[in-house]
C-alpha cells in the first residue's frame, strides 16, 4: 500500500480560532503533545520500513495549526528530521492555515519547515467565514491584512476558494478579478463544498445548484485561459486539467485520484485515523482506528473494515454507476467519497458533482486542444494553413 | 541469438534457475513466498492467473518486476483492475485481456488506470469484429490512451515505419523466443486461448506454419497483411476466415498512412519546402 511515497494529513490540534458557519469539522479542544507526536512519527516510520516506503509528506492542518505556537513546530520539525534521518527516510512538510492567527513570528518556521509556502482559504464573497461573534467582513479584513503581510515577507500564498450562491450570482468574472486583480493572488484553486458534520442552514445553502455551478466553472475556465494561463496565474484544478489533456504531467486533486485510499490518511490530535481530514473530523463511524491504541500503524490500516470500504469504492462504482462508460473515467474515477457521502448519505454512489466535473473536463479538453494547436503553430507553420 | 524465455508455473521455478523465466501463479502470496529466497536476475516477469488474489503482498515486494495480469472474464473482472493499479508505483503492469464479448470495457478501465494492455485475440469470432474495431478506434483516436494496446501498437508502428513485423512476436507466441511450460514440465507454444499445443521443432514452428499456408495457397498466399500477420490468425484452425481481422489491419494501415502523410507535410514545412 502507498507505493514508494505516502501522505499524512496531520491535525496537531482539533481546536480552531474561528467559527465558520459551514465548517464540516466537529471541533474539540484537543492538542497533540510533542510526546504524542513522537509516538505517531515512530509508528509512521515503522510502517514505512515495513512497507518499504521511501518518502512521506505531512500536510499540517487543523482545527487551526496556528493555535499551536511556532516553538511547538520547531520542536516537531527537529524531532521528525532526526527520526527520519536515522531511518534513511525523507519527510517533507506542507502547511494549511486560515492565516487569522498569523504574525511575523511564524516567518522563520514557514521558511525553514514549509518551503516558505502556506495554503489558506477565502471565498468571494465571504458569507460564512467568521470569527466567533464577528462578521464575515471582519474576518476578510484580518485575512487580507495577514496575507498581505505574509506575502510582503516573501511567503508564497495559495488560496482555496469555495463558491457560494452569491459567487454564482456575481459570476466568474467578478470572482476571478477579486482574487487576481484586487488581491494579486496568482495561485488559487476552486473547491466544491460538502455538508459534513452537524447540519445547519449554511451547510445546506452551500450545496449549490449544479447547473449554475457548471456554468460558473465553465466561464471561469475561459476567463483563466484568456487572461491568467499565459500570465502565470495558477488556477487549480483547471491548470492541472489543462496539463492532463495536453498530455503533460498533471497533478490532479485528491478527489479525482483513482483511489484516495492508496494515497493518504489523516490523523487527528487524539490519534484517530481516517481517510482524510474531512472524515476524521466529521464521521467517527468511518475512523480506521486510533494510532495510540495499536502497536502497529500498518496493522491498524490493514485490519480496518472502514478502510476496506474506501478501497472497494471505485470497484463498486464501476458496476453500480455509469462511470465505466464515461469519457472522463481516466480523470475522475468516480470522484470524492466524502462529498458523495455527505450529500447523498450513500458511500457507494458516484460524486454528486459529476455534472459539474463533466462540464469542466469538457471545457478544459477544448481549451487544451486550442493550446496544443497554438503550440504546434509556433513550431510548425503549416498548421496555421491547415 | 535471443535467449529463450520460459513461461513456467511457480512450482518449477527452482528447476529453471539460470534461465530467463516468466513465472506464473494464481496466488500472489504463493508468488512472493516462492520467489523470495531466490536470485531474481533471470526473472523476466511474473504472471498472475487470477484477478482475485491478495494483491497487497505485491505492494512492497521487489521493485520494477514486470507484472502481467491475465484476465479470464473481462466482462465481469474489469472492476478488479482498481485493486492492481496501486502496484504501478513499484512495478510495470500489463493486463492481458481475452477478446470475448464485452472485453472493451476492460480495455477502457485499464487504459484509464494507465496500464499496458495486450489483447489475447487468438482467432476472434466474426461477431467480435465490431467491438474490436471500436477498441481499435479508441486506441487510434482517443488522446487519453497514453500507453500501448497490443497488438495494435506494434503493428501500427511497423506500418508507419514501413517495416515488417510478426504477430507471433508481438503476441509473444513465437516459440523461438518464448516457450510455455505446462504444469507437468512439457514445453509447448505460448498460447492462452484455446487448448491446442504445438509440439515439434520450435525453432522452425512459425516458419513451417507460414510455408504450409503459402504452399496451400490459403488466404495468406496473396494477403497484403501477411508481412504483419505471418499467418498468425490461421493458427490453430487453418480454416479461419480472415475478413474481419483484415479489416482491422486495414484500419491500422490507414491510420499509419495518415500519420505518415501528416508528418511528411510537417517535416517539409519545417525545412521550408512548403
CB–CB contact A380 B274 (8 Å): no
> Does residue B97 lie within any of the structural domains?
yes
Distance from CA of B67 to the nearest CA of A (A): 15
Distance from CA of B5 to the nearest CA of A (A): 29
Query: Domain total for chain B?
Result: 1
pLDDT at B2 over 80: no
- Which residues in chain B touch residue A382, judged by CB atoms under 8 angstroms apart? 265-266, 268-269, 274
**In chain A, which residues have pLDDT < 70?**
1-3, 377-386
- Which residues in chain A touch residue B111, judged by CB atoms under 8 angstroms apart? 330
- Which residues in chain A touch residue B60, judged by CB atoms under 8 angstroms apart? 50-53
Q: Which residue has the cell 480552531?
A: A16
List, for residues B133-162, the tens digit of each pLDDT value.
Answer: 999 999 999 988 989 999 999 999 999 999
> Does residue B41 lie within any of the structural domains?
yes
> Does residue B121 lie within any of the structural domains?
yes
Mutate one of A51, A307, A315 to test the B interface: name it (highest B CB count within 10 A). Answer: A315
For chain A, first and last CA: distance in Å? 49
CB–CB contact A3 B88 (8 Å): yes
> Does residue B267 lie within any of the structural domains?
no
Q: What per-residue confidence (pLDDT) applies to B194?
A: 52
Confidence of residue B273 (pLDDT cuts 50, 70, 90): low
- Local structure of residue A204 (DSSP, 8 states): H
Please check whether residue A344 is in contact with residue A352, taking contact to mean a CB–CB distance below 8 angstroms: yes
- Which residues in chain B touch residue A333, judged by CB atoms under 8 angstroms apart? 82, 112
Confidence of residue B124 (pLDDT cuts 50, 70, 90): very high
CB–CB contact B269 A247 (8 Å): no
Give strand ranges (E) for chain A.
Answer: 5-10, 55-60, 90-95, 117-121, 156-161, 187-190, 234-236, 264-267, 272-274, 289-290
CB–CB contact B83 A315 (8 Å): yes
Neighbours of A116 (CB within 10 A): 14
**Residue-averaged pLDDT of chain B:** 92
> Does residue B264 lie within any of the structural domains?
no
Residue A376: closest C-alpha in chain B: B266
Q: How far apart are CA B251 and CA A194, in angstroms?
A: 47
> Does residue B241 lie within any of the structural domains?
yes
CB–CB contact B86 A259 (8 Å): yes
Taking each helix axis as running N to C, give the angle between helix B129-141 and helix B103-112, from 0 to 180 degrees, rounded to the nearest 10.
Answer: 20
- Which residues in chain B touch residue A315, judged by CB atoms under 8 angstroms apart? 79-80, 82-83
Q: How many beta-carbon pairs below 8 A join chains A and B?
A: 72
Q: How far apart are CA B268 and CA A27, in angstroms?
A: 66
Q: Which of helix, strand or coil describes residue B235? A: coil
Order the strands of the A289-290 sheet from edge to edge. Answer: A90-95, A55-60, A5-10, A264-267, A272-274, A289-290
> Does residue B113 lie within any of the structural domains?
yes
List, for residues B22-79, the tens digit of each pLDDT value.
Answer: 999 999 999 999 987 777 889 999 999 999 999 988 988 888 899 999 999 999 999 9
CB–CB contact B78 A318 (8 Å): yes
Q: What per-residue confidence (pLDDT) applies to A156?
A: 97
> Does residue B271 lie within any of the structural domains?
no
Closest CA to A37 of A68, A66, A64: A68
List, for residues B174-210, the tens digit of each pLDDT value.
Answer: 999 999 999 999 888 876 555 456 667 889 999 999 9
Listed in sequence order, the DSSP H helices in chain B are 28-35, 74-77, 81-84, 103-112, 129-141, 152-160, 167-170, 205-215, 226-229, 243-270
pLDDT at B89 over 90: no
- Which residues in chain B touch residue A307, judged by CB atoms under 8 angstroms apart? none
CB–CB contact A259 B82 (8 Å): yes
Domain that holds residue B222: 5-259
Distances (CA, A) of A3 to A48, A299, B68, B194, B235: 10, 17, 18, 36, 41
- Which residues in chain B touch residue A379, judged by CB atoms under 8 angstroms apart? 270
Q: What per-residue confidence (pLDDT) applies to B224?
A: 96
Please check whether residue A112 is in contact with residue A92, taking contact to mean a CB–CB distance below 8 angstroms: no
List, for residues A279-291, the tens digit of each pLDDT value.
Answer: 999 999 999 999 9
Amino acid at each position: 500500500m502507498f507505493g514508494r511515497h505516502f501522505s499524512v494529513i496531520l491535525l496537531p490540534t482539533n481546536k480552531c480560532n474561528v467559527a465558520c458557519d459551514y465548517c464540516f469539522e466537529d471541533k474539540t479542544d484537543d492538542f497533540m503533545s510533542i510526546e504524542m507526536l513522537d509516538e505517531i512519527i515512530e509508528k509512521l516510520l515503522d510502517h514505512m520500513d515495513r512497507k518499504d516506503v521511501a518518502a512521506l509528506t505531512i500536510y499540517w492542518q487543523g482545527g487551526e495549526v496556528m493555535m499551536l505556537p511556532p516553538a511547538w513546530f520547531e520542536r516537531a520539525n527537529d524531532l521528525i528530521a532526526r527520526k527520519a534521518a536515522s531511518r534513511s527516510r525523507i519527510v517533507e512538510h506542507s502547511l494549511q492555515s486560515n492565516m487569522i492567527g498569523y504574525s511575523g513570528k511564524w516567518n522563520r518556521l514557514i521558511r525553514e519547515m514549509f518551503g516558505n509556502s502556506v495554503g489558506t482559504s477565502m471565498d468571494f464573497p465571504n458569507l460564512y467565514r467568521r470569527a466567533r461573534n464577528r462578521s464575515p467582513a471582519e474576518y476578510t479584513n484580518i485575512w487580507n491584512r495577514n496575507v498581505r503581510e505574509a506575502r510582503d515577507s516573501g511567503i508564497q500564498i495559495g488560496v482555496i476558494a469555495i463558491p457560494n450562491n452569491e459567487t454564482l450570482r456575481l459570476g466568474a468574472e467578478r470572482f476571478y478579478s477579486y482574487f487576481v486583480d484586487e488581491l494579486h493572488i496568482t495561485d488559487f484553486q476552486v473547491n466544491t463544498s460538502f455538508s459534513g458534520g452537524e447540519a445547519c442552514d449554511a451547510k445546506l445553502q452551500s450545496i449549490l445548484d449544479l447547473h449554475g455551478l457548471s456554468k460558473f466553472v465553465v466561464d471561469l475556465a475561459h476567463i483563466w485561459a484568456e487572461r491568467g494561463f499565459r500570465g502565470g496565474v495558477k488556477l487549480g484544478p483547471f491548470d492541472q486539467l489543462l496539463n492532463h489533456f495536453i498530455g503533460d504531467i498533471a497533478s490532479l486533486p485528491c478527489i479525482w485520484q483513482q483511489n484516495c485510499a492508496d494515497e493518504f490518511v489523516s490523523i487527528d490530535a487524539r490519534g484517530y485515523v481516517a481517510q482524510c481530514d474531512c472524515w476524521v473530523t466529521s464521521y467517527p463511524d468511518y475512523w480506521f482506528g486510533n494510532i495510540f491504541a495499536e502497536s502497529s500503524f500498518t496493522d491498524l490500516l490493514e485490519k480496518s473494515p472502514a478502510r476496506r470500504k474506501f478501497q472497494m469504492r471505485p470497484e463498486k462504482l464501476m458496476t453500480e454507476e455509469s462511470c465505466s462508460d464515461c469519457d472522463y473515467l481516466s480523470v475522475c474515477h468516480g470522484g470524492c467519497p466524502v462529498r458523495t457521502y455527505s450529500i447523498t448519505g450513500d458511500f457507494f454512489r458516484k460524486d454528486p458533482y459529476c455534472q459539474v466535473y463533466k462540464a469542466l473536463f469538457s471545457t478544459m479538453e477544448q481549451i487544451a486542444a486550442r493550446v496544443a494547436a497554438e503550440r504546434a503553430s509556433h513550431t510548425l507553420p503549416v498548421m496555421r494553413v491547415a | 541469438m535471443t535467449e529463450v524465455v520460459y513461461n513456467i508455473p511457480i512450482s518449477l521455478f527452482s528447476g529453471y534457475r539460470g534461465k530467463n523465466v516468466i513465472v506464473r501463479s494464481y496466488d500472489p502470496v504463493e508468488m512472493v513466498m516462492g520467489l523470495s529466497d531466490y536470485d531474481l536476475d533471470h526473472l523476466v516477469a511474473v504472471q498472475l492467473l487470477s484477478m482475485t488474489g491478495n494483491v497487497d503482498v505485491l505492494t512492497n515486494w521487489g521493485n520494477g518486476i514486470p507484472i502481467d495480469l491475465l484476465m479470464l472474464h473481462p466482462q465481469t473482472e474489469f472492476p478488479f483492475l482498481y485493486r492492481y493499479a496501486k502496484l504501478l508505483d513499484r512495478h510495470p503492469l500489463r493486463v492481458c485481456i481475452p477478446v470475448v464479448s464485452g472485453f472493451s470495457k476492460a480495455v477502457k478501465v485499464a487504459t484509464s488506470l494507465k496500464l499496458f494492455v495486450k489483447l489475447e485475440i487468438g482467432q476472434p469470432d466474426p461477431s467480435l469484429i465490431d467491438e474490436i474495431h471500436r477498441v481499435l478506434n479508441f486506441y487510434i483516436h482517443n488522446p487519453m490512451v497514453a500507453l500501448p494496446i497490443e497488438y495494435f501498437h506494434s503493428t501500427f508502428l511497423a506500418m508507419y515505419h514501413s517495416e515488417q513485423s510478426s504477430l507471433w512476436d508481438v503476441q509473444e507466441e513465437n516459440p523461438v523466443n518464448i516457450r510455455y511450460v505446462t504444469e507437468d514440465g512439457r514445453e509447448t507454444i505460448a498460447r492462452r486461448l484455446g487448448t491446442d499445443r504445438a509440439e515439434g521443432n520450435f525453432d522452425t514452428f512459425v516458419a513451417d506454419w507460414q510455408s504450409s499456408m503459402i504452399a496451400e495457397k490459403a488466404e495468406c498466399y496473396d494477403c497484403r497483411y501477411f508481412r504483419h500477420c505471418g499467418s498468425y490468425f490461421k493458427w490453430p484452425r487453418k480454416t479461419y476466415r480472415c475478413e474481419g481481422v483484415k479489416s482491422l489491419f486495414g484500419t491500422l494501415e490507414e491510420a499509419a498512412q495518415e500519420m505518415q502523410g501528416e508528418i511528411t507535410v510537417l517535416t517539409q514545412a519545417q525545412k521550408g519546402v512548403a
